[in-house]
Amino acid sequence: MIAEIRFKNMFSFRDEAILSFEADRSKDMESYHVVELGGDVRLLKVAVIYGANASGKSNIIKVCDFIKSFITYTPLNKAEQIQIVPFLLNKTSSMQLSEYSISFYLKNEEKAVRYVYSVALDRWHVAKESLIYYPSQQPATLFERNTENNVSVIRFGQKIKMSQAVKEEITLKCLHNMSVFAAYMQVNTHIVELEAVLQYLTNQVMPAVVPASSLSRYAEKSIKNESAKDYILRYLQEADFNISNITSKEQETHKGSINYTMYQHKVSSDDGNNDYYEFPELFESDGTIRTFGLAAQVQKILENDAFLAVDDIEFSLHPKLIEHIIERFLKESEQAQLLLTTHYDGLLGEEDLLRKDNVWFTEKNLDGSSVLYPLTNFKGLNRISSLQKAYKFGNFGAVPNL
């Protein structure tokens, strides 16, 4: 599970921003929201970010996606630029390194162990990269990479058992513009400590969902799995869609075969019986298609205890459906996590849905830089009768100045 994401000089965030999934001491709705991993480690399943348009919410989602994609990114050659975007509204920061780190917990012999993966880079090279973990109270280095005299120097910790030849091959394949993990993937070796982290960051940190995402394409693949299909159908039916079945069909054309999805609707006929009608996706509403796609994504993260970031969760969805998605996720999740951005302040009025430490805000400074801060930064929250009204009145910032 993800505990914390830190980033600096990325997109609209000039100064360091910290998004934390660490729960506070509140016992409010603890059984639904909080996962206890042993010791004092208490992590949240959900984080929700509010903010005005262009305040930086979507850029946090982009940060999450960049962290995931750069892990395995293999450039065509050493001259290819890294697709990192620093804060561009400042002559100094635009030439400085972008930095990020992700802190997460993995199970190791029935014990949750904390890992921290950190990177500092610009468009031309990775300046620093490290992976540490905490087998005890003290951290241990798995690898550390620095650029010295325009040469990447990788030092592996004592916990990693590999031959000198493998170390040299990883170093040789690790170009300036790629990660150590990407180089490791090109070497015929298996290092348990690296594999566990690589598997989590590539398979359990899911690609972000944005309004432009073609969710139905992914969902079409999911319904070929019967258990996933059953889950998706129940999800749609509970969300009050009259869909009784979804099938993927194939049709031959002069250009080859094409796949398409058919939605079966159950309706009550005049004689009191049920009639069934099939329609292609073209006839379905945007809300139906988006819910179909989100249901498939949620099913996958629940099955794999994975992490999913969704930008503009309210896109094409009724407010009550948003509440249903979050409520159902909280009930079903064991260690899966959701990061959501939204303008729907109605969630703040649902006192039995979100905790105060679930809520975050973004705001744009006069210099164009974004800041991220939690609701729990504000004092006297327990004396506020309606968080929704307080937010609307601008008590927490993160609203348009109209």
| In a shared domain, residues 294 and 310 | no
Is 218 a domain residue?
no
- Claim to verify: residue 367 and residue 401 sit in the same structural domain: yes
**What pLDDT score was predicted for residue 129?**
98
User: 176 and 47, same structural domain?
Assistant: yes
Examine the domain organization and report whether 333 and 283 are in the same domain: no
Q: Please check whether residues 155 and 113 belong to one and the same domain.
A: yes
Same domain, 257 and 372: no
Q: Which amino acid, one-letter code, is at 270?
A: D
CA–CA distance from 39 to each of 19, 111, 288 (Å)? 22, 10, 43
E-only strand ranges, 9-125: 17-20, 34-38, 41-44, 46-51, 98-108, 111-121
Structural domain total, the chain: 2
| Residues 174 and 45 placed together within one structural domain of the fold | yes
- The predicted pLDDT at position 258 comes to 80
- The reply to whether 212 falls in a domain is no
40 with 140, same domain? yes
Among candidates 269, 265, 266, which has minimal Cα distance to 285?
A: 265
- 232 and 246 Cβ atoms separated by less than 8 Å: yes
Q: Which CATH number covers residue 364?
A: 3.40.50
Choose one of 263, 284, 303: the last residue of a domain: 303
- Domain holding 125, by residue range, is 1-206+306-402
Residue 340: HSE in the Cβ half-sphere, 13 Å Cα cutoff: 26
Q: Do residue 101 and residue 248 come from a single domain?
A: no
Of 128, 123, 115, 61, the residue nearest 96 (C-alpha)? 123
Domain stops at, among 288, 303, 318? 303
Of 250, 273, 303, at which residue does a domain stop?
303
Question: Do 142 and 18 sit in the same domain of this protein?
Answer: yes
pLDDT value, residue 335: 97
Q: Is the dihedral of CA 366, 372, 376, 381 positive or negative?
A: positive
Summarize pLDDT for 270-329 with one digit per residue, the tens: 888 889 999 998 899 999 999 999 999 999 999 999 999 999 999 999 999 999 999 999
What is the per-residue pLDDT for 39? 84
The amino acid present at 326, given as its one-letter code, is I
Using one digit for the tens of pLDDT, what is the confidence trace for 208-232? 999 988 887 778 888 989 999 999 9
Q: d(Cα 99, Cα 118) in Å, to the nearest integer?
A: 8
One domain, residues 125 and 53:
yes
Q: Is residue 297 part of a domain?
A: yes
pLDDT digits (tens, 9 = 90+) for 173-208: 999 999 999 999 999 999 999 999 999 999 999 999
